[in-house]
Amino acid sequence: MSELAILGGKKSRTEAYPEWPVWDERDVQAVTDVVRSGRWGGFPYPGPKTAELAKKFAELQGGGYAVPMINGTVTMEVALRAAGIGWGDEVIVPAYTFQATASAPMGAGAIPVIVDVDPNTYCLDAKAAAKAITSKTKAIIPVHLGSNMADMDAIMELAEKYNLIVIEDCAHAHGAKWRGQGAGTIGHFGSFSLQSSKTLTSGEGGILLCKSAEHAALAASVIDCGRPHALGGGGEDANGLSVQGGNFRLSELQAALALVGIERFPAQAKQREEMAAYMDEALSEIQGVRVLKHDERHTTRSFYRYIFAVDPSQFGVEHDVLCAALDAEGVDCWTGYEAMNNYELFQPQKSMMAVPNAFPEYFKFEEMKLPEATRACEHEAVWLDEAVFRAGQKGVDDAVAAIKKIQRNAEELNQAAEELRKKYGK
């Protein structure tokens, strides 16, 4: 009988990895208190819990004016609107990310200009971004992917040189630091998601960190139906009603949950970081596995997902087969996002969005050169859940043992690959 669980063998890990989100009576009490208070949401915005969350979150990241809102997609669209970026402006985004990073600019009417990623980190390649800058470029949105950070030194240098706005997409980077400075406080804006899988969550939600009080006031207006918000918050009529806004406010119930999450966050982040360093060492011994580069300037790493790369010719199987086998071993695993050119959302005529149809010349994917993102998406990348680290050393040991087992049996697995693809899908 095969040693591999996917071919009928015994699982490497039989115990389930710890669940997310973590909650206890504190969360129940926090929500109950808000319910009893009668102030569940509404205005004036922010309510007391939301205002407290804004303050505590800015403290956690180490700076900025925090404006909580409904999710980590709207945050980016709002940042662009607050910076006066819109129809026909170009916004540089990486090719390897969740669709939100590119659809948020389209929401503001801007054109996402898609550039390749750095194979060492899978984050936006600053050199590729530099080549894509034109007279219409107004902003760059680097994504801090999985657990890595984009090269913020190079990106800020570009931004200064060409007078661009930088919006850090920090949906995966709560608590991360670059040269000791919090992710999201380096660029003009930092966009955070509090969606249920994120390392700080309120079920759904988002927070926009703004470097300037002026941007924060405008962002608050945009998410509060255009109501005027004074610089740095308050009710004074600073902006008039010239701001196009909508209701993107976070509720007090969500803010209450996120506030309890912030209390737990430092211990969870520390454990993930320690265990990930242990994982780096263990994985670097496996043939055909490439641990992504840890840039020394990335002084605090935060782990939403742990991404490593396989070289199929060395490891023996492609990443999709490895992932299916790893899942069967009891280790949740994912091949990661699709290449940007596979999303119909960005393809003229197929997309329902105005931007690709109005500016089709920007979306000729067959002419674009995105070799690094394509290789990551189609062959290399393996995404592990943060729960592996919350399960402590045993959690990591079990995952590593499973990967080694798969590599030992790669030949057998490869022979079954076609069948497995039919069964599990590519």
Ligand X SMILES: Cc1ncc(COP(=O)(O)O)c(C=O)c1O
Residue ranges binding ligand X (CB under 6 A): 71-73, 97-98, 100-101, 143, 169, 171-172, 193, 195, 206
Q: Whole-number minimum distance, CB 88 to ligand X, in Å?
A: 23
List, in sequence order, every beta strand (DSSP E) within 202-358: 206-210, 289-291, 305-310, 333-334
Closer CB to ligand X, 198 or 405, in the complex? 198
CB atoms within 10 A of CB 134: 9
C-alpha count within 13 angstroms, C-beta hemisphere, residue 184 = 32
| CB-based burial label for 20 (10 Å; 0-12, 13-18, 19+) | middle
Query: Containing H/E element for 335?
Result: none
Give the nearest residue (CB) to ligand X.
72
Query: Containing H/E element for 240?
Result: none
Closer CB to ligand X, 190 or 316, in the complex? 190
Closer CB to ligand X, 150 or 368, in the complex? 150
Q: Whole-number minimum distance, CB 261 to ligand X, in Å?
A: 14
C-alpha count within 13 angstroms, C-beta hemisphere, residue 115 = 22
- Rounded Cα distance between 340 and 105, Å, is 15
Longest Cα–Cα distance of the chain, Å, equals 74
Q: Whole-number minimum distance, CB 97 to ligand X, in Å?
A: 5
Q: Whole-number minimum distance, CB 342 to ligand X, in Å?
A: 16
Closer CB to ligand X, 73 or 374, in the complex? 73
Token pair, residue 108, equals 């503001």
Backbone angles phi, psi at 117, to 5 degrees: -110, 165
3-state secondary structure of 328: helix
| CA distances in angstroms from 277 to 301, 303, 306, listed in the order given | 10, 11, 11
State whether the Cα torsion 101-102-107-111 is positive or negative: positive
- Residue 415's contacts (CB-CB under 8 Å, 6 or more residues apart) are none
Q: What angle do CA 51, 52, 55 make, to 5 degrees?
A: 90
Q: Whole-number minimum distance, CB 372 to ligand X, in Å?
A: 17
Q: Whole-number minimum distance, CB 6 to ligand X, in Å?
A: 28
Closer CB to ligand X, 239 or 251, in the complex? 251
Burial code (b: 16+ CB inside 10 Å, e: under 16) for 298-322 equals bebbbbbbbbbbbebeebbbbbbbb
Closer CB to ligand X, 61 or 71, in the complex? 71
Closer CB to ligand X, 6 or 102, in the complex? 102
Q: Whole-number minimum distance, CB 268 to ligand X, in Å?
A: 18
Closer CB to ligand X, 191 or 221, in the complex? 191
Query: Are the C-beta atoms of 120 and 127 separated by less than 8 Å?
Result: no
Token pair, residue 60, equals 């956690």
Q: Whole-number minimum distance, CB 395 to ligand X, in Å?
A: 23
Closer CB to ligand X, 4 or 167, in the complex? 167
Q: Whole-number minimum distance, CB 294 to ligand X, in Å?
A: 19
Q: What secondary structure, in 3-state letters, does 179-208 show?
A: CCEECCCCCCEEEEECCCCCCCCCCCCEEE
Q: Whole-number minimum distance, CB 100 to ligand X, in Å?
A: 4
Closer CB to ligand X, 73 or 251, in the complex? 73
